[in-house]
Amino acid sequence: MIEYRNIHKSFDLPVLTGVDMRVESGEMFALFGPSGTGKSVLLKTTIGLTIPDMGEVEVDGISVFRGGKRALEAVRQKVGYVFQHSALFDSLNVFDNVAMGVPEDELARMPRMETAAKVWEALELVNLEPREILSKIPSELSGGMKKRVGIARAIVGRPEVLLWDEPTTGLDPINTAAVERLIQQLSKQLQVTSLLVTHDVEGGLLICDRVAMLDSGTLRFCGTPDEFRACPDPVVQAFVDRAAAEAALDMVLDVL
Amino acid sequence: MNHQSSGALPPPNAIVQWFAGVGRVTHTTFEHAGGLGILFAQIVVATVRLKVSFRSVLNQMYIMGIQSLPIVLVTGSLAGIVTSQQGGYQMTSAVPSYVLGSLVVETIVLEMGPVLTALVLVGRIGARITAELGTMVVSEQIDAFKSLGRDPVVILAAPRVLAGVMVLPLLVGIANLIGIMAGVQAANLTSGLGQESFFFGAQLFWHSFDLGYSATKAIVFGLAIPLISVHMGLKTKGGAEGVGLTTTQAVMFMTLTILILDAMFPPLLLN
């Protein structure tokens, strides 16, 4: 379970102004919102990559900011983070990139063969052929493959929580659908709590148990996908309509 | 009599702006000084706790040392040749020509070898480190390290700083040697000073402390260059433009630091 309490964060201008949100254990939760409303900032506070000016975050009862260094390490060990642009390490090959996802002390004790088996399994889980890509460096991979390697790195340490920061950004509609199916499949298979930040509203509504919408730094909506679609709030409706129009336009452009 | 003429004092907003400017500079200076101090302390802790990968240090030593050798050799040789030629040109009949040997050796060992090698490494290594780490920051690779429970200071900063401290004295030693050898040849060709006379002159004014002085400079510069470049790289903000801006600032910062530290050595160690 992830709980955000009264999160405030400013970068010159206020980005988050008192966000309270709760993601239950085992659920798939999507966070929507226009660009610049602080979705990724909120996600990054979950593992202390961004420190809020005020407020508290708890992951499975562990305080991220009040528990000290050990608590933060414990939280980071529980959480797998999928970055928007994959954030693969340029100088490392796919094997070493994915192996980085194994906790450091575990990796130090683990025989090389066991590490290789874990990396192999993680790559297979994201539908990649390990034999073909293990020795490749990130610059030799396509955008979709980089995303999958990034996901493999996030899941290889068997996290209890997965945070997805716009995992479909920059992908074509076919790859977007494939990655969304993968997110759903992995979340169920690994029985993790998933928090998905995405611009793909239709995709998010399809695969998530609950959704929320951030607007101007505050939580505008939180509920089920059906409640979201039926929400009378004009801001939410405008966002849903705009997202649907953008999705239709993307589809037309893709066909053309 | 009007004592309140508008031209007598600068307008208040100019004074406020001046104080604001001083405040910004002071804030930036303390911010960098504090950041460098914290980074240095974190590197010392990581090193003492044996957390730094020996393989990473060796890899950085190879990049900083072996790959920088050609440019260091060229710089060292040219420094020796120029010093020897200009020294020979300034010699008059009142000064024995063998004094040129001392002039060249002391200038190379005390000043030219360490400073020129450091300035070459500012451009070759310092800029590279800042740009590399800056790119890692803007592409979220540093965040990825943290999210995976890895400490960027242990993995990225410490190996570079340790390698710098170990490599620069070696490079300075090589630059000194090649500079002196080139100086000997240049003295022979341009001033007709033989090798024996050159080294006779060099021995006359030589103190064994000079070598330690040169090595101490090299160690301090070898610490300053990677420390500043790592610090600046990790503070990068924005995208490609941010990386470019931070790299330029880092090169200026490192160059000034080398020259200021160099100016501090004589009063501290030579008097």
* A126, containing H or E segment: none
Lowest mean pLDDT among A39-43, A73-77, B9-13, B152-156: B9-13
Name the residue range of residue A77's domain. 2-255
In B, minimum Cα distance to A87 occurs at B141
Q: Using one digit for the tens of pLDDT, what is the confidence trace for A156-167?
A: 999 999 999 999
Q: Taking the CA of residue A238 as centre, how many other CA atoms within 13 Å lie in the half-sphere pointing to its CB?
A: 7
- Which 3 state secondary structure label does DSSP give A216? coil
pLDDT tier at B271, thresholds 50, 70, 90:
confident
Burial tier of B263 (Cβ tally within 10 Å: 0-12, 13-18, 19+): exposed
Place of tokens 């610049």: A36
**Distance in Å from the first CA to the final CA of chain B:** 59
Q: Taking 80 as the threshold, does the pLDDT of residue B4 lie above it?
A: no
Q: Using one digit for the tens of pLDDT, what is the confidence trace for B217-234?
A: 999 999 999 999 999 999
Q: Taking the CA of residue A65 as centre, how many other CA atoms within 13 Å lie in the half-sphere pointing to its CB?
A: 17
Using a CB–CB cutoff of 8 Å, tell me whether A101 touches chain B: yes
- Contact list, B148 vs chain A (CB under 8 Å): 76, 100-101, 153, 157
Q: Closest Cα of chain B to A241: distance in Å?
A: 32
State which residues of chain A have pLDDT below 70. Answer: 251, 254-256
- Contact list, A157 vs chain B (CB under 8 Å): 148
What pLDDT score was predicted for residue A244?
A: 78
In B, minimum Cα distance to A73 occurs at B149
Q: Does pTM top 0.90 for this prediction?
A: no
* CA neighbor of A17 nearest in space, from A3, A28, A4, A34: A4
pLDDT tier at B93, thresholds 50, 70, 90:
confident
Q: Using one digit for the tens of pLDDT, what is the confidence trace for A8-37?
A: 999 989 999 999 999 999 999 999 998 889
* CA neighbor of A176 nearest in space, from A94, A251, A98: A251
- Name, in order, each residue with C-beta under 8 angstroms of A195's C-beta and a sequence gap of 6 or more: A2, A23, A29, A31, A43, A46, A161, A162, A163, A164
The beta-carbon neighbor of B150 closest among A48, A49, A100 is A100
Q: B137, B236 in Cβ contact below 8 A? A: yes
Using a CB–CB cutoff of 8 Å, tell me whether B50 touches chain A: no
What pLDDT score was predicted for residue B7?
A: 57
Handedness of CA B181, B187, B189, B195 (dihedral sign): negative
Whether A49 sits inside 8 A of B146 (CB atoms) is yes
Q: Using one digit for the tens of pLDDT, what is the confidence trace for A70-97?
A: 999 999 999 999 999 999 999 999 999 9
What pLDDT score was predicted for residue B1?
A: 44
Q: A149, A88 in Cβ contact below 8 A? A: yes
Mutate to test the interface with A, among B147, B153, B234, B237 (most CBs of A within 10 A): B147
Cα(B175)–Cα(B93) distance, rounded to whole angstroms? 31
pLDDT tier at B72, thresholds 50, 70, 90:
very high
- Contact list, A89 vs chain B (CB under 8 Å): 141, 144-145
- Contact list, B59 vs chain A (CB under 8 Å): none
In B, minimum Cα distance to A153 occurs at B148
Number of domains in chain A: 1
Using a CB–CB cutoff of 8 Å, tell me whether A155 touches chain B: no
What pLDDT score was predicted for residue B88?
A: 87
Using a CB–CB cutoff of 8 Å, tell me whether B150 touches chain A: yes
pLDDT tier at B131, thresholds 50, 70, 90:
very high
Handedness of CA A120, A124, A126, A132 (dihedral sign): positive
Using a CB–CB cutoff of 8 Å, tell me whether A51 touches chain B: no
CATH number of the domain enclosing A92: 3.40.50.300
Average of per-residue pLDDT values in chain B: 92
What pLDDT score was predicted for residue B202?
A: 93
More confident residue, B12 or B88: B88
ipTM score for this prediction: 0.90
Counting residues of chain B whose pLDDT is more than 70, the rounded percentage is: 96
Q: Taking 50 as the threshold, does the pLDDT of residue B171 lie above it?
A: yes
Q: A89, B141 in Cβ contact below 8 A? A: yes
What pLDDT score was predicted for residue B14?
A: 84
